[in-house]
Chains A and B, each alone.
Chain A
Amino acid sequence: MRLTLKIWRQADAASEGAMHTYEIDDVSEDMSFLEMLDVLNEELQAKGEEPVAFDSDCREGICGMCGLMINGQAHGPEVTTTCQLHMRSFKDGDEIVIEPWRADAFPVVKDLCVDRGAFDRIIQAGGYISVNTGSAPEAHATPVPRDDALRAFNVATCIGCGACVAACPNGSASLFMGAKITHLGELPQGQPERDTRVVEMVGQHDHEGFGGCTNIGECTAACPKEIPLDVISRLNWDLHAAMRHGL
């Protein structure tokens, strides 16, 4: 198929960016979206134009490195990562608008790449269980009910891609945070730090310039790992509990 691509180009964080239009032919429907951009980049190179910078690594939907706004939707029209979006989701003659994640807390690094360091700093604030290497008890010492383990697993699958933030009109990272708080809070091992964890993470979140959650739900609709909206209720519940406990 033949497509018209409108792509955001921006030399670096300090420069002004602008949309550029490119035509591309011979796109097969078996290509992933990023493979289509690879082909475009080879063509640009051949013409002496600098290739479009975009992030990716695993290309199988698990590392969370890729992420583009495609026609205004985080990761594009399907509920998946950009690297797992295939061109069979588009048709011949389509015009596709491609932009970087939009959020104040994710500054543009270049073209379609953004800086998501704020996510790491939220985890640093408490997104872990404190246990030093070598001091762990025998794994079977604490049984974990199967359903709890399953639920913890389901929300632990968050890949930290940032689509939830990009999709949110407020630029909130509540889904990302809620996923981690629910994952660790669901397990017996996560209880001792449950109160401090939520307070510290939320504090860091606000400090980074992410917006507040007003329950719009765009985050969960865009999340490639289908993290459910109720992790945000859990986040709020835990936060209130921590307040009640005097934190």
Chain B
Amino acid sequence: MPDTTLTSDPSHDGPGAQSDDAAGYYTPGAPIADTKAPGGPIADRWQTRKFEARLVNPSNRRKLSIIIVGTGLAGGSAAATLGEAGYNVKSFCYQDSPRRAHSIAAQGGINAAKNYKEDGDSVHRLFYDTVKGGDYRSRESNVYRLAEVSTNIIDQCVAQGVPFAREYGGLLDNRSFGGVQVSRTFYARGQTGQQLLLGAYQALERQVAAGTVETFTRHEMLEVIIVDGKARGIIARDMVTGEIETHLADVVVLASGGYGNVFYLSTNAMGCNVTASWRAHRKGAYMANPCYTQIHPTCIPVSGAHQSKLTLMSESLRNDGRIWVPKKASDCEKDPRDIPEEDRDYYLERIYPSFGNLVPRDIASRAAKNVCDEGRGVGPAVEGVRRGVYLDFSAAIERLGRDGIEEKYDNLFDMYARITGEDPYSTPMRIYPAVHYVMGGLWVDYDLMSSIEGLFVTGEANFSDHGANRLGASALMQGLADGYFVLPHTIRDYLADGPFEPVPADHPAVVEAEQAVRTRIDTFMNSNGTRSVDSYHRELGNIMWEYCGMERTEEGLKKAIDLIRTLKDDFWRNVKVLGSAESLNQSLEKAGRVADFIELGELMCIDALNRRESCGGHFRGESQTEDGEALRHDDEFAYVAAWEFAGDGEAPILHKEELIYTAIEMKQRSYK
């Protein structure tokens, strides 16, 4: 074990004891020995790696080709940067334009250790907050690098014309976000993701005009092509004509985003999926920590069975809004304005006095669930329980005036009013947690390369930077850090081995990948079942939310695995896809995605079952302190669970990567 402070838990058998709830569901594999992070002082590691990464001379770059799946912050920024550098880039997305990638929806902001406020921020503090916020389940070297390059991101985006909020003097403004005590979050009203993505998109389109990047919109990647152990291309479907296309390159980058839609209802865009990652996983890329799901505390509560998605209200609202529920369950039906101050329970301020309404997301989410489970939730009862808490701006409106609030949050307030039909300026908003982000994803080494050579993974699709819980405003930072500043350096070291032997179009690996895609599509089109794809997705989502959601137990997870296996069986026999495969067919698109979600869902449950500890966004009912806080077991679980696909119907193989902290001490998190 590394030199760390171990947690001591009296109910626990002590170091060395191995709980193995998932026995029988997996096969143990060899540990992961090397992540390729350079050694030495943490502050020098990235500089060392950059220096050691071999160079590719500009005239050779033209001869090298890169496929990038995804045009969000991670993929768009990478494509623009690698295009500028002179490589041949092919960029893919399933939407009709790269500008629509899901990153566009991010509201709150982006962190960077600029210390413009002189409030004690630094690269080291951002690093420290991120590792602590992730409950010591992220990789130290990666997180440090993220904090280090964060400052360049702001410079880059400002130069591109991203209209961040400014102070009267013309300098950039900041705000603070959940889980931290400094103001380091840069923002563009409540639409930061949109503005950052437009910056990356414009940089990308500039390269399209320059001829270095070719974009393939309405194209879905359905398979990776692996030749001699190396990723050399993809099979994509042109979603308009149905044509199955082979695209070959020297290296493949997946920047395909997160898989939160496995829960059906989430804050993610409708099309977010796991297909690109899952297809790669089935070909040998390890899937790391898939069970780490972030539940966001401030979403608009569910209103009925028709619902297709949940809408997030930016967490920045927690800066000014106070969260409460009535002290007495009997007050829950009352108009909140009629409940006097002394009958309100500002439960976050009460339980966590030093962070108050700004505790990290997992803590805020679970606290909301607890008060609703106690019967003190507010708003309409759905299936017998009121699932909502108040987010109250009345004090802030008094302090800052209605104008002050309008200026900060206007579009969020409008959005709330539009969706709920209620006016949040006059009556408190109602919020409830919802699935938002996944910290798990394809395993990558320090260079962002997966366990398949030549297959790189960036942004939300990889796993490395956020541990078991992501602090607010850190995903945008990671997407842009990976795409603008990290991948371009690490990929050049890989490409320096070029020129690579061209892959002939009739290479057996290409033929096999293409055939696999065709067979799968034919299976869907010829299945004469009766149930719609959506109905399976909803059912899967219910299972996942119920048993692998905010709180997991051994019993529940085992039950979920059985349910998912039965569902999978039924899906393949009973799903119905109408229309043709040779044209735009949204049911067919969804069928492929849901099939992959079902397999992922099973692995998420197995991963959650294996991890008999509570950390960050993973709360195991069996592992809590006396007062109901999450209890980690660093002696047993300070590792990344990297799962290898072993074949259909075979138990997955678990590789453990030990987490070693040299620059930071592992502590039990406390926000009290």
Chain A interfacial positions (CB closer than 8 Å to B):
11-12, 28-32, 34-36, 38-39, 42, 45-46, 48-51, 53, 55-65, 80, 84, 86, 88, 109-110, 113, 115-117, 119-120, 123-125, 127-134, 136-140, 142-146, 149-150, 152-153, 156-157, 159-160, 183-184, 187, 189-190
> Known interface pairs A12-B584, A131-B160, A189-B161. Does A156 touch B189 (Cβ–Cβ under 8 Å)?
no
Chain A, residue nearest B530 (CB): A46
**CB-CB < 8 A to B167: which residues of A?**
146
A34 to B586 alpha-carbon distance, docked (Å)? 14
Give A142 to B301 CA distance when docked, in angstroms.
43
In angstroms, Cα B155 to Cα A48, docked, is 55
Given contacts A84-B418, A134-B81, 11 further A-B contacts (CB under 8 A): A31-B306, A50-B579, A58-B100, A58-B269, A60-B415, A65-B100, A137-B159, A139-B114, A146-B170, A149-B163, A150-B163
Q: Is the CB of B306 within 8 A of A38?
A: yes
Q: Which of A32, A80, A124 contacts B208 (CB 8 A)?
A: A124
B155/A50 in contact, CB under 8 A = no
Question: Does chain A have a CB within 8 A of B95?
Answer: yes
Contacts of A65 in B (CB 8 A): 95-96, 100
Q: Which of B177-185, B190-198, B621-629 contacts A (4 or more CB under 8 A)?
A: B190-198
B98 and A134 contacting across the interface, CB-CB below 8 Å: no
A51 B586 Cβ-Cβ under 8 A: yes
Q: CB distance B161 to A59 under 8 Å?
A: no
In the assembled complex, the CB of A129 is this many whole angstroms from the nearest CB of chain B, namely: 5
Knowing A116-B97, A133-B84, A156-B163, the reply to whether A39 touches B306 (Cβ < 8 A) is: yes
A57 to B218 CA separation, bound complex (whole angstroms): 12
28 sample A-B contacts, Cβ–Cβ < 8 Å, listed by A number = A28-B304, A29-B421, A58-B100, A59-B270, A60-B105, A62-B191, A63-B102, A84-B419, A117-B217, A119-B97, A120-B98, A123-B205, A127-B202, A129-B202, A133-B77, A133-B203, A133-B485, A134-B484, A137-B159, A139-B172, A143-B166, A143-B170, A145-B170, A149-B170, A153-B195, A157-B194, A160-B97, A189-B161
Distance in Å: Cβ of B431 to nearest Cβ of chain A:
15
Tell me, rounded to whole Å, the shortest Cβ–Cβ distance linking B85 to chain A: 8
Identify which of B307-315, B463-471, B648-656 touches chain A. B307-315
From B164, B168, B578, give the contact of A45 (CB < 8 A).
B578
A164 to chain B, nearest CB (A): 16
Task: Say whether, besides A59-B308, A120-B97, A137-B155, A189 and B584 are in contact (CB < 8 Å).
Answer: no
CB neighbours of A139 from chain B (8 A): 114, 154-155, 157-159, 172
Taking a contact as CB atoms under 8 Å apart, the answer to whether B191 and A157 are in contact is yes
- In the complex where A53-B586, A58-B105, A139-B155 touch, is A64 in contact with B100 (Cβ < 8 A)? yes
Checking A30, A117, A134, A189 against B303 with a beta-carbon cut-off of 8 angstroms, the contacting residue is A30
Q: Determine the distance from Cα of A198 to Cα of B208 in the docked complex, in whole angstroms.
A: 18
Chain A residues contacting B97 (CB-CB under 8 Å) are: 64, 116-117, 119-120, 160
Tell me if B96 and A115 are in contact (CB < 8 A): yes
Given known pairs A65-B96, A110-B584, A140-B116, the reply for A129 and B161 (CB within 8 Å) is yes
A144 x B166 contact (CB < 8 A): yes
Q: Nearest residue in A to B480 (C-beta to C-beta)? A: A133
Minimal beta-carbon separation of B305 from chain A (angstroms): 9
Whether A133 and B484, one on each chain, are in contact in the complex, defined by CB atoms closer than 8 angstroms, is yes
* Minimal beta-carbon separation of A128 from chain B (angstroms): 4
Q: Are B584 and A34 in contact (CB under 8 A)?
A: no
* A7-B289 Cα distance, complex, nearest whole Å: 45
A115 CA / B240 CA spacing, docked (Å):
10
B202 touches A146 (CB 8 A): no
How many angstroms between the C-alpha atoms of A34 and B168 in the bound complex? 41
Given the complex of chains A and B, what is the CA–CA distance between A48 and B172 in angstroms?
56
Known: A57-B271, A62-B191. A48 touches B202 (CB 8 A): no
- Which of B80, B100, B304 is within 8 Å of A57, CB to CB? B100
The answer to whether B270 and A56 have CB atoms under 8 Å apart is: yes
Q: When chains A and B are docked, how far (Å) is the Cα of A71 from the Cα of B306?
A: 23
Question: A63–B105 contact, CB under 8 A?
Answer: yes
Assess the A34–B163 pair: CB atoms within 8 A: no
Query: B215 interface residue, CB < 8 Å from A?
Result: yes
Nearest chain B CB to A144 CB, angstrom units: 5
Q: Give the residues in chain A near B105, CB-CB below 8 Å.
A: 58, 60, 62-63
Q: Bound state CA distance, A69 and B170, in angstroms?
A: 41
Q: Which residue of A lies closest to B194 (CB)?
A: A62
CB distance from B20 to the nearest CB of A (A): 41
Chain A residues in 8 Å Cβ range of B552: none
Chain B residues with CB under 8 Å of A32's CB are 308
A152 engages B163 (CB within 8 Å): yes
Chain A residue at minimum C-beta to C-beta distance from B272: A57
Contact B159 A131 (CB under 8 A): yes
| A187 and B163 contact, Cβ closer than 8 Å, known pairs A64-B100, A139-B114 | yes
Question: Does the CB pair B163–A57 fall under 8 Å?
Answer: no
Scan residues 131-167 of chain B and give those whose CB is less than 8 A from a CB of chain A: 152, 154-161, 163-167
Q: Decide: A84 near B205, CB < 8 A? Known: A31-B306, A131-B159.
A: no
B578 contact set on A, CB distance < 8 A: 45, 48-51
> When chains A and B are docked, how far (Å) is the Cα of A241 from the Cα of B113?
41
* B576 and A190 contacting across the interface, CB-CB below 8 Å: no
B311 to A144, Cβ gap below 8 A?
no
Report B-chain residues with C-beta under 8 Å of the C-beta of A156. Answer: 163, 188, 195, 198
Shortest distance between the CB of B240 and any CB in chain A (Å):
6
* Measured CA separation A103–B304 after assembly (Å): 36
Which B residues touch A86, using CB under 8 A? 418-419, 421
Report Cα–Cα, A45/B535, bound state, in Å: 11
**CB–CB A153/B189 < 8 A:** yes
A7: min CB distance to chain B, Å:
15
Within the complex, what minimum Cβ distance (angstroms) separates A151 from chain B? 9
In the assembled complex, the CB of B251 is this many whole angstroms from the nearest CB of chain A, namely: 18
Query: Does A190 lie within 8 Å of B161, measured CB to CB?
Result: yes
Cβ-defined contact, A63 with B583, below 8 A: no
Residue ID in chain B nearest A34 by CB atoms? B308
Tell yes or no: B405 within 8 A of A by CB. no
- Nearest-CB residue, chain A, relative to B239: A109
Please name all residues of chain B whose beta carbon is closer than 8 Å to the beta carbon of A125 when the two chains form the complex: 209
Residue B394 interfacial (CB < 8 Å): no
CB of B90 closer than 8 Å to a CB of A: no
B488 at the interface (CB under 8 A from A): yes
> Which 5 A-B residue pairings sit nearest by Cβ, starting from the closest?
A143-B170, A128-B202, A136-B159, A153-B163, A152-B163
Interface check B104, CB cutoff 8 A: yes
Max count, chain B CB within 10 A of own CB: residue among A58, A146, A189 = A58
A interface footprint on B78-114 (CB within 8 Å = 1, 0 otherwise): 0011001000000000011111101011000000001
